[in-house]
Chains A and B, each alone.
Chain A
Amino acid sequence: MSARDRILARLASRLATGADREAAVSARLAGERPDTPRPMQSRTTPEERVEAFIARAVKADATASLIGSMADLPAALADELRRRNLGPSVRAGSDPALAALDWGGVEVSRGVGRIEEPATLSVAPYGLAETGSLAFCSGPENPVTLTFLGETHFAVVRAGDIHAGFEELFAAHRASGRDPRTLNFVTGPSRSADIGQTLQLGAHGPVALHIFVVGE
């Protein structure tokens, strides 16, 4: 008997038996779920959603700005880079939404995160109004290391991709057919309170997170 089989056998011998156990598990994994309470803040209406998302992201120490369309991103990014005294360059993946743009004076290099990355740019396929979080999918379009290695991380999310709660976001994720290695929820820039129990921003990940919310 393998360790696996011994462990499972030990559990089975200590748990109730019966064919309905298997059925209960299958049903649950197929999405049958008892009514589960969720926070009021996960139930924003479409009208209030963007505002709620931004308010919660800002509460988590991110900054955010609204832009009218993807076409406005290069200029908005150039402004933000200048305002932060960063050079006019950014690291990004091969996301088609970015590739289609005219970047003008901003130099966009493509690829994974390197050891020094003053500024990185990723597109988030989802936003979560409930907590002000972004959710990124790893892959060539938006390499996961860009999310963590940028000193300043710029993120783009479409207003229509901001979901009220986890339930809606996960439903959209399943429906999208995406199967990334990582689904990364990001809520504000990185932080640590491990020195002297005092919270400081910019632990291992970004010191700053700026979100461009596109559209509407």
Chain B
Amino acid sequence: MTAHEPTSRLFKENVKAAMADPNLQKAMKNAGEGFVGKRRAAAGGVPEFDQIRDAARDLKNHVLGHLDLYLARYEEKVTAAGGHVHWAETAEDMRRIVLDICRSVDAKTVNKGKTMISEEAGINGWLEENGIRPVETDLGEYIIQLRGEAPSHIIAPAIHVTSDEVEALFRERHTHLPADRNLSELSSMLSEARTILRQKYFEAEVGITGANMLIAETGQSIIVTNEGNGDLSQSLPKVHIVLASLEKIVPTMEDAATVLRVLARSATGQDMSVYTTLSSGPRRAEDPDGPEQYHVILLDNGRTEMVGTEFQEMLRCIRCGACMNHCPVYQAVGGHAYGWVYPGPMGAVLTPSLIGVEEGGMLPNASTFCGRCEAVCPMRIPLPKMMRHWREREFERNLSPKAARYGLKFWAAFAERPALYRLATRAAIFALGLMGRKRGRFAKLPLAGGWTAQRDFPAPEGGTFMAAWARAQKVKGAR
């Protein structure tokens, strides 16, 4: 298996499992509230925050409108700095290019900073199949790699894991350490992981990182981290490979600053993440450290097909995670339920775009359209609108569930004929009103099992407003 096989079409089953998992529910409860409060405070601390969001949106729209040209300019700059740009149309292309580079230096171990593109392209499984050991160095990624899992959040990959589970995991997997060591403190677990990974940094021949942005002006790639692992991963090995999707371009360093000003505040509530690194090319002739080779692999994997469509705006996404941090659906079920690489509202839009609506079509339906994601998105991506666009495509292609389609048709047939609608609603409400009169609510109701399994259904007061109003007007007229 080279990539985590998508299970997005099993969303409903995934949800059931997630809601029945006490550890997951406990971990999500701990995590969710922190992000929301921190983002609110950070955004509130900058009076110009919303104007900067507008500028970030406009900036990215400009880039997307000129993406072919900016990519060509970016490539020139990388090449001039002594780096190499590789173009991958598909995940498979990216895997092949990564392997070729690794083999060219006879790599046994590859260190990895956090990269979602690696998840999308299934790099870890592919390297393992080919006898190369990928080592995730971001602490959260390290934890889930030990657990054999995919990340459940784009910036906090192990958000679904409790500290008790981490302790058990370290005891099970770090067998070279004394079994009776004390891991009761979080700091002792951190220190254990730090020591183990510190060794790994010096062993790997290749370091892979993602890229938060690519700067066309300078050919620099940017990573934004808090741990410092991405920098150790790119500075110590002989080869640095950057995995990036091709919409990550910004024109200049100042444009990168505009994005940085909204990125960390939206993600973790920091003014600035601890490490923001702009890298270009391999180490310079006089440099005592840094990689000897610098490669950037640009991934398309369906993104160019989004350009010019109603989903183009999704390509503004800077992967801050604010949408999922504020999504009540994500908070209820966690990231794994979404079944592929990208969870939450951004995943609900991106997944069908990248792996097809047949596989990912459930996700844009799993939203109340509460709009909290759009309200906090630093790039002002209209996420609910785009989820609706997916529902429209599903409807057009007859992919939405039969029961829902028939129900909707049946209801619309009445709603489009006011006179018939008046009669039908009166009759239905009369019946429902009689049935529910005594208790005022239903604990069970035919065809509404989903609702009444966990809550009552309030009974109607009796009679429709329109009928009562018409009667009242008549009385008034008679007077």
Contacts and interface: CB of A to CB of B under 8 A. Distances in A.
| A–B contact via C-beta, under 8 angstroms | yes
13 contacts: A7-B300, A10-B300, A15-B66, A29-B73, A29-B216, A34-B58, A39-B47, A166-B260, A166-B261, A180-B284, A191-B274, A200-B186, A205-B227
A191 B226 contact: yes
Contacts of A100: none
Interface stretch (A64-72, A82-90, A109-117, A118-126): A109-117
A80 B137 CA distance: 31
A190 B275 contact: yes
A187 B274 contact: yes
Given A33-B254, A144-B290, A39 B261 contact: yes
A139 B261 contact: no
A37 B51 contact: yes
Contacts of A176: none
Contacts of B217: 29
A102 interface: no
A3 interface: yes
A45 interface: no
B257 interface: yes
A148 B143 contact: no
B274 A188 contact: yes
Interface string B262-295: 0000001011111111111111101111100000
B66 A203 contact: no
Contact of A196 (B30, B71, B307): B30
B401 interface: no
Interface residues of A, number: 79
Given A14-B307, A16-B65, A182-B277, A39 B89 contact: no
Contacts of A139: 284, 286-287
Interface in A8-43: 8, 10-12, 14-16, 21-22, 24-25, 28-29, 31, 33-34, 36-41
Nearest to B45: A41
A63 to B, nearest CB: 15
Contacts of A186: 274-275
Contacts of B308: 14-15
Interface in B51-88: 51-52, 54-55, 58-59, 62, 65-73, 75, 87-88
A28 B158 contact: no
A49 interface: no
A40 B47 contact: yes
Contacts of A22: 69
Nearest to B89: A3
Interface stretch (B228-236, B359-367, B373-381): B228-236
B66 A184 contact: no
A195 interface: yes
B123 interface: no
Given A40-B46, A182-B278, A194-B140, A138 B226 contact: no
Interface stretch (B12-20, B159-167, B411-419, B428-436): B159-167
A130 B304 CA distance: 36
Interface stretch (B192-200, B342-350, B383-391, B467-475): B192-200
Given A144-B235, A192-B227, A198 B275 contact: no
Nearest to A28: B251
Contact of A167 (B137, B163, B220, B254): B254
A2 B139 CA distance: 38
A108 interface: no
A34 B258 CA distance: 12
B356 interface: no
A101 interface: no
Contacts of A166: 253-254, 257, 260-261
Interface of B: 27, 30-31, 34, 46-49, 51-52, 54-55, 58-59, 62, 65-73, 75, 87-89, 93, 137-140, 143, 156-159, 162-163, 166, 186-187, 189-190, 194, 197-199, 201-202, 216-217, 220, 226-229, 231-232, 235-236, 246, 251-255, 257-258, 260-261, 268, 270-284, 286-290, 298, 300, 304-305, 307-308
A193 B156 contact: yes
A60 interface: yes
A36 B290 contact: no
Contacts of A59: 271
Q: Which 6 A-B pairs have the closest CB atoms?
A: A205-B228, A196-B163, A166-B257, A194-B140, A203-B227, A14-B308
Contacts of B54: 37
B75 to A, nearest CB: 8
A145 B275 CA distance: 13
Contact of A203 (B59, B228, B281, B286): B228
A41 B261 CA distance: 11
A11 B216 contact: no
A25 B77 CA distance: 14
A28 B73 CA distance: 12
Interface string A126-151: 00001111000011100111011100
B55 A195 contact: no
Contacts of B189: 195
A95 to B, nearest CB: 13
Contacts of A196: 30, 162-163, 166, 186
A192 B158 CA distance: 11
Contact of A7 (B202, B227, B287, B304): B304
A31 B70 CA distance: 14
B194 A25 contact: no
B428 to A, nearest CB: 48
A192 B284 contact: no
A181 B48 contact: no
A192 to B, nearest CB: 5
A36 B60 CA distance: 13
Nearest to A139: B287
B69 to A, nearest CB: 5
A29 B282 CA distance: 23
B51 A131 contact: no
Contacts of B270: 60, 187
A112 B289 contact: yes
Given A3-B87, A190-B275, A204 B227 contact: yes
Nearest to B300: A7
Contacts of B49: 39
